[in-house]
Structure 1
């Protein structure tokens, strides 16, 4: 088989096709999960060249009047916000260039945030209340502003909501919040309007770059919103109580047009079909999809990994799979797993366990379909130095590029090579899950008697898993290089007539 540069070009074209920023999110209430844990999954999609770092920010003290300023890091806007005098420690997975847009993280209080899902307000509403693109808050800032100060998920929602109402949002976004008691999802409407809902216990929520929230009950503790959310929509003609009936946030504030039919709707349709196989609905009927659904089977971490890896390779939409039968960058149905995903994660909170192991984030660097989800426990003390390395140029040291280079190589012949990588990673994840169960049982026993010894156990175990995952990626890279070398030699041997040399 010939090594054609056009194949790689197609792969890279897929990396920049469509929206500049696009993600997919799933939020799972504790009653809908298999073990009673809270779950959040999200893919972060922008550019394959966007190397990600993993950072632990230590707790620190600020002087009164100290400010967080986005432009200190050359971020998207000129947003600024007062620093808390006592800032908690927290983790983030930021962009290499600015160290902002942390994607996912937990703080010392056990509050976790995943953000953001890029969403879009309706154009006519934005004309009246535009995004504050000069000094508004964006995905660059959310984790670094909220995690140092928020003691609960609800408080984090309230802080972000207050910022949106006063300073304004610099773009449209959706954000997921979790602690050991509840899980929330917030969406922006226009530049200063927003709505958040606590995920009903027995349900899950899925979004693919759309405003999906609809219901709003201002008297219920399960909702938080901008103070004049309904009033503003009514006064400006986006909601008529007599004509429209019950207020619908999505209808009043967010976009729903032909741009959503093939880019966004199919992803949500696919997620709901995977978790509710008996559900029948039209692929392009996005606004009528249920906002919250009870899954037909309780949801596991493995289910969410599978969702993050999905590209219509199974089920009714297989004809839209853009990889398995050769790369098709012109496929109209945008899949969940795209080459330009720079990281995907599954956040899990298990309130019945010590915080150190009860909160864990599974992170897959790069394209989830060709990556491995590695668990990172909340109690992990430090990341290796090379976890904070990597730029937009490939290297041999950084964590990001160790995984990304293998993915790029596989995409040169996805049909032939993907199985080699996926089987090895599946075996690793299964073995790691078994080892985690043994470790966690022992950790709980030791923690009761000697927390310091338990923490040392955690550090040893987690660092070992991280090292094994990296070693596997490097070994797979060599395996795939060997296969491709043989392919190219076979296709370009130029033997003499005797076929001997």
Structure 2
């Protein structure tokens, strides 16, 4: 999946929360309806079977409850995308990345092959089971971890045992830490803790640009990896460092022409937003350009980062640059972050200053981020509001996914005319959403004094009120955008009936 991820350490965020966000984008020419659900322990399988790779994995007992953003249409598997479990541990999976030919030759991907021929005949070849991938990873990891670090360790063990059929990067988050894991070939992996005062932008590239093997094989304070990673590198002559320190991006990653069209421009425009004055971004003497292979994996921002900052960056279409597709005569060279085929954007905010029952907020947006809005929901729940859960494969403006998709389709064709409607909608929803969360946060202590009211029930009732506001504002925005676009139809005529 072609996605963009942003990670923000707790000292770099506006309120001390860890923030992890990812655009879940479909391949070119397609999109997948999504919904917001909760998986309770009784709904978690005992044995998991992948639709794509046919791998079967026996899962541990006693799974935790967790939220999920699965496909709303059957046929391709679960694709849970992002979730928060009941211990306020979160993960988002996955950011598809790439590795070079030398790595893939040394540790090939574990790809499913269907059976050939007829059983009990001489030419019959049985199916070859594949490894794990994006379809599976949240479902087989998140219900069984109690910290971000545990998430890295569990997934690392699964990758080593079953392998993977694709290159992926995965973020794990709790209130204290964010960890970033990148798979290497079919069975290897490495992970690094995001520095608390930094942010990371990951645009479909293997991004780690430093790694401390001494720490990974001893204290494991900031680094973790496959148990045989050093031998794998040495045996296959993968380390390209001449005099400088080992660089995972050089060793395992790619530096192709496609990267310069599809990947690095997204990291460039995002870092340009968070660090406008730290580096020079344009001109002949620029420190970094859309073609730079040496953009830092993590950076200290020039100011603290908000939820709204992340939404803006993950909606970015190169506005205020020559590459904006909505500008006449634009050079359509680079793949924008805010693209038409985004299925869902999820940002998890884990707030260390709140009681456990209210720590995690899950911010969700469906469809193209240029035209949609975030909505923040409490994650400590056993059910989700119908407006976000009732998505099907049929277009229906009575759910948030399809209403968001319709807003984008209509407004995109009349961008300048509809932009004020979209801007007002996004501001209205976010303002009211913050207002409601602030109110519910303050009311929670009173609810705790009522022994008949659980924290989970409180959060569910709060989410229903937030969803009601969201539906009202989305319907209002859809009405305005339809009107604005209707007035610009090609078969209009200036004269009314005589």
TM-score by length of 2: 0.88
Q: Equivalent of 1:133, from 64, 88, 111?
A: 111
Q: CA 1:184–1:451 in 2, change beyond 3 Å: closer, same or farther?
A: farther
What is the match of residue 303 of structure 1?
309
| CA displacement at 1:460 relative to structure 2 | 2.5
Distance between the aligned counterparts of 1:263 and 1:157, measured in 2? Answer: 28
TM-score by length of 1: 0.87
Distance between the aligned counterparts of 1:484 and 1:245, measured in 2? Answer: 57
What is the match of residue 119 of structure 2?
none
Distance between the aligned counterparts of 2:420 and 2:494, measured in 1? Answer: 30
What is the match of residue 359 of structure 2?
358
Q: CA 1:193–1:92 in 2, change beyond 3 Å: closer, same or farther?
A: same
Asked if 1:95 corresponds to 2:71, the answer is: yes
| CA displacement at 1:270 relative to structure 2 | 1.2
What is the match of residue 223 of structure 1?
223
1:371 partner SS: coil
Distance between the aligned counterparts of 1:288 and 1:345, measured in 2? Answer: 28
2:156 partner SS: helix
Distance between the aligned counterparts of 1:325 and 1:339, measured in 2? Answer: 19
| CA displacement at 1:38 relative to structure 2 | 0.4
Asked if 1:79 corresponds to 2:61, the answer is: no
Asked if 1:105 corresponds to 2:78, the answer is: no
Q: Deviations over 1:284-309 (max 9, x none)?
A: 45431111111110111121111111
What is the match of residue 275 of structure 1?
274
Q: CA 1:159–1:121 in 2, change beyond 3 Å: closer, same or farther?
A: same
1:342 partner SS: strand
Distance between the aligned counterparts of 1:62 and 1:435, measured in 2? Answer: 32
Q: Deviations over 1:99-149 (max 9, x none)?
A: 511111011121100111110011232123221122211011111001121
Q: Map 1:183-262 onto structure 2 (within 5 A).
A: 183-220=178-215, 221-239=221-239, 243-262=242-261
What is the match of residue 441 of structure 2?
440
Q: Equivalent of 1:156, from 122, 144, 151?
A: 151
Asked if 1:39 corresponds to 2:19, the answer is: yes
Asked if 1:24 corresponds to 2:4, the answer is: yes
Distance between the aligned counterparts of 2:71 and 2:297, measured in 1? Answer: 31
What is the match of residue 342 of structure 1?
343
Q: CA 1:347–1:419 in 2, change beyond 3 Å: closer, same or farther?
A: same
What is the match of residue 264 of structure 1?
263
Q: Deviations over 1:304-325 (max 9, x none)?
A: 11111111113xxx21111254
Q: Map 1:461-476 onto structure 2 (within 5 A).
A: 461-476=462-477
Q: What are the ranges of 5 or more consecutive residues in structure 1 without an aligned counterpart?
A: 1-20
Distance between the aligned counterparts of 1:29 and 1:444, measured in 2? Answer: 28
| CA displacement at 1:392 relative to structure 2 | 3.9
Distance between the aligned counterparts of 1:191 and 1:264, measured in 2? Answer: 22
